């Protein structure tokens, strides 16, 4: 998705989009070779993200050749273990790297199909000597396994330029050095059966993709609260009720405190965006939420949280289907134009002032 469209979908100005993306990259939650906001989302700069399997739309035995993540602590532990083993057995460096590649090959397969790479994972093959595994082992020899990209929480094992050259040769298509679309090249592993996230429901939670429609209309600190509420209520892939109001308020308050701490630490806020949101809420006579109780009231009002009293006490349920914001919200005259001005310029000042007022 091009930067302008992404900014419009999320209602983020160029500065906020850049800061948000920089923060995700710093932690290691996303990885791309895009260097500027204008490059984000372009075809030649694919994005990989922790928790999202890049091969989810491919056949069960197909993977891409792109990078994959490991938790930083896990990677450093595994690497230290292989180095210690290599020293005890007086193995050459090539042997140490080969063993590390063999281990990481399985994590590569796991990430491609599940979006994670640090849990137990099963691979099935119908032959004694798997050509599919041999292909993945060979592929990892083109990856930077000793000096990966180091994020604060995750490292990314990425394919080196030699991999680009090999892909160009085998696929008879030339990729420029600044074109990383070759990460999406598909490899078929015919004799392997690779498990997906559906084989491990206990490790995943529900995240309604329709929620993306709401990001444009949510206060910046409210948007992360909703995924947290869904996550805590759906571990194992099924929605469960919160048994009390205090449970819901605790999750909301904990997320708000995390966001407040992040803002204190990194000092990034976006008052221009919140001016637009406040105008929209005032027009709809919706209280602009500031505290946990107000966020709860707001989410109940717009339909994300419901109450079930059928068992004699109030239990709180997350909506199985996200409400459509355009069916709930009315929009002030010119609001969408002011929003697009903000997305384009990072400011809404001139959207509210006449030329005469602005130059005074």
E-strand stretches of the chain: 30-31, 48-49, 62-64, 68-71, 123-125, 143-150, 154-159, 186-188, 192-194, 305-308, 315-318
- Rounded to whole angstroms, how far apart are CA atoms 47 and 86? 35
Q: Please give the model's pTM, rounded to 2 decimal places.
A: 0.73
What whole-number percentage of the chain has pLDDT above 90?
41
pLDDT digits (tens, 9 = 90+) for 96-132: 788 899 889 989 999 998 888 776 776 766 655 578 8
Q: Where are the domains of the chain?
A: 13-198, 205-359
Decide: helix, strand or coil at residue 125. strand
Residues 6+ apart with CB under 8 A from 231: 205, 206, 207
CA atoms of 157 and 65, how far apart (whole Å): 11
> Rounded distance, CA 349 to CA 121, Å?
53
Q: What is the pLDDT of residues 167-204, one digit of tens each?
A: 999 888 899 999 999 999 999 987 777 777 767 766 66
Q: What is the mean pLDDT of residues 57-86?
A: 90
Quick one: pLDDT at residue 268? 65
Q: Which pairs from 145-150 meet CB under 8 Å and 24+ separation?
A: 145/97, 145/100, 145/101, 145/104, 146/79, 146/97, 146/100, 148/75, 149/28, 149/31, 149/67, 150/28, 150/72
* Residue scoring higher pLDDT (357 or 35): 35
Q: At 347, is the pLDDT very low, low, confident or very high (cuts 50, 70, 90)? A: confident
DSSP state letter for 141: T
Percent pLDDT > 70 in the chain is: 89
pLDDT per residue as tens digits for the range 224-270: 899 889 988 887 667 899 999 999 999 999 999 988 887 777 666 68
């Amino acid at each position: 998705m091009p930067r302008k469209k992404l900014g419009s979908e999320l209602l983020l100005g160029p500065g906020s989009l850049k800061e948000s993306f920089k923060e995700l990259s710093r932690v290691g939650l996303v990885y791309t070779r895009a260097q500027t906001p204008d490059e984000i989302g372009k075809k030649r700069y694919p994005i990989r993200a922790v928790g999202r399997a890049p091969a989810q739309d491919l056949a069960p035995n197909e993977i891409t050749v792109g990078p994959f993540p490991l938790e930083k602590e896990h990677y450093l532990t595994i690497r230290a273990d292989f180095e210690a083993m290599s020293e005890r057995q007086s193995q050459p460096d090539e042997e140490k790297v080969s063993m590390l590649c063999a281990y990481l090959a399985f994590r590569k397969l796991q990430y491609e199909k599940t979006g994670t790479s640090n849990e137990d994972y099963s691979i099935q093959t119908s032959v004694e000597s798997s050509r599919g595994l041999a292909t993945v082992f060979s592929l990892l020899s083109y990856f930077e396994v000793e000096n990966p990209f180091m994020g604060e929480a995750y490292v990314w094992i990425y394919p080196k330029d030699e991999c680009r050259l090999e892909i160009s040769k085998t696929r008879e298509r030339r990729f420029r050095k600044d074109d990383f679309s070759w990460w999406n090249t598909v490899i078929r592993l015919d004799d392997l059966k690779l498990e997906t996230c559906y084989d491990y429901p206990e490790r995943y939670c529900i995240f309604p993709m329709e929620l993306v429609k709401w990001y444009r209309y949510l206060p910046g600190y409210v948007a992360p609260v909703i995924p947290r509420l869904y996550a805590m209520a759906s571990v194992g892939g099924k929605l469960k009720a919160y048994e009390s109001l205090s449970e819901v308020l605790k999750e909301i308050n904990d997320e708000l405190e995390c966001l407040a701490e992040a803002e204190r630490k990194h000092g990034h806020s976006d008052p221009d965006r919140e001016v637009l949101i406040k105008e929209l809420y005032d027009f709809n006579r919706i209280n602009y939420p500031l505290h946990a109780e107000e966020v709860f009231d707001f989410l109940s009002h717009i339909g994300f949280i419901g109450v079930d009293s059928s068992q004699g006490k109030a239990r709180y349920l997350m909506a199985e289907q996200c409400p459509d914001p355009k069916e709930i919200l009315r929009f002030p005259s010119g609001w969408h134009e002011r929003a697009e001005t903000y997305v384009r310029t990072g400011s809404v000042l001139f959207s509210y002032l006449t030329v005469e007022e602005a130059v005074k």
